[in-house]
Structure 1
Amino acid sequence: MDKKDLKLLDILQSQGRIPISDLADKLNMSDTPCLRRVKKLEQDKVIKGYCAQLDSQKLGWNVTVYAFIRLTNPTEAASEEFELAIAKFAQVMECSAVTGADDYLLKIVAKDLASYQRFEKSVLGSLPCVANINSTLVLKQHLSRTGLPLSD
């Protein structure tokens, strides 16, 4: 990956719908080689997809919670069971295996505190592989980035 690829990626991270002709202009390239670079980055899975960034609160998802999950038995089978179960719930935005006292960190959105409590008790708490749930409520989000740094 060269400097043009990195600049191309930087532009696409913030302007995913930019026309190829405009992207090529910003890179001082013609359209065809620019499109070829984009296609190559897509084929190599450097670019995994394109999406719209939505405002969760304007859509009624007013609560964000980080939940630390400890499994009853942190085996590969229990981890796989948990990951398959969690993937079914749209309100789970992120699921990361972590080190330390807990096994997973989930980022969960909810309409309100009562709906999160129902989700925690009836969904997360009902999974047989879950031993403990420790939730942290986000009071205010100061920063959220979707783009990756492309240089040190």
Structure 2
Amino acid sequence: MTTNNSSNSEIDSFDRRILDILVEDGRISITDLADRIGLSKTPCLARFRRLVSSGYIEGFKAVLNPSKMEMDHIAFTEVKLTRTHEEALKEFNAAVKKIKEVEECHMIAGRFDYLLKIRTRDIRRYRIVLAENISSLPYVANTSTYVTMETVKESGDSFAPARK
């Protein structure tokens, strides 16, 4: 088994190959997965189930095409709060999770407090989301927006194996 660090000591090279393959093809059958990693179906299935139950695999989902859904406008919004005590952060976090257009929200160490990734159908809809939702979140002092011109890489690719 690999023992690089304590959080990964439970997985070995077969498990890592399973994870790498699933990142690229989450719909692969257990039989095909077993063939690709060089194990029989039963031990492959056992490893797969263990990876799910131990939290290495958090779930499976459909990845939608934003252009087909007419949701290909992306803006990143910096948010500066008026207060950053624990209760203010909890209130902000709970409220921002309710805004469906916010795809990601990250607390940042730096000159602002949060970075939001917001997806809408166009700039007009973004302005409405900013004015009616983001700006009215608890403790928001100010925001600054950066509009995406082109997406080069998006989440889901971050743990994929290197392409050759």
**TM-score (normalised: structure 2):** 0.88
Residues 72 and 121 in structure 2, CA contact (< 8 A), matched pair in contact too: yes
Please, which of 117, 121, 126 is the counterpart of residue 131 of structure 2? Answer: 121
Other structure's SS at 1:59 match: coil
Instruction: Report the Cα offset of residue 141 of structure 1.
Output: 1.2
Cα deviation 1:51-87 (Å, max 9, x = unaligned): 1211111101131000011111011111110110011
- Distance in 2, Cα, partners of 1:94 & 1:20: 31
The residue that corresponds to 1:43 in the other structure is 53
Say whether residues 1:5 and 2:15 are aligned partners. Answer: yes
Give % identity: 34
Corresponding position of 2:83: 73
TM, length-normalised to structure 1: 0.94
Q: Structure 2: where are the runs of 5+ without partners?
A: 1-10
Note the C-alpha offset of 1:149: 5.1
Q: Is the 8 A contact 2:96 2:137 kept in 1?
A: no
Which residue of structure 2 lines up, in the alignment, with residue 89 of structure 1? 99
1:131 equivalent to 2:141? Answer yes
Contact kept, 8 Å, 1:94 with 1:108, in 2: the verdict is yes
Change (3 A) 1:119 1:67: same
Query: CA shift at 1:127, angstroms?
Result: 2.1
Structure 2 match to 1:25 = 35
Amino acid paired to 1:112:
D
SS of equivalent to 2:68 = helix
Residue 101, structure 1, aligned to residue 101, structure 2: no
- Runs ≥4 in structure 1, deviation > 6 angstroms? none
Root mean square deviation of aligned Cα = 1.3
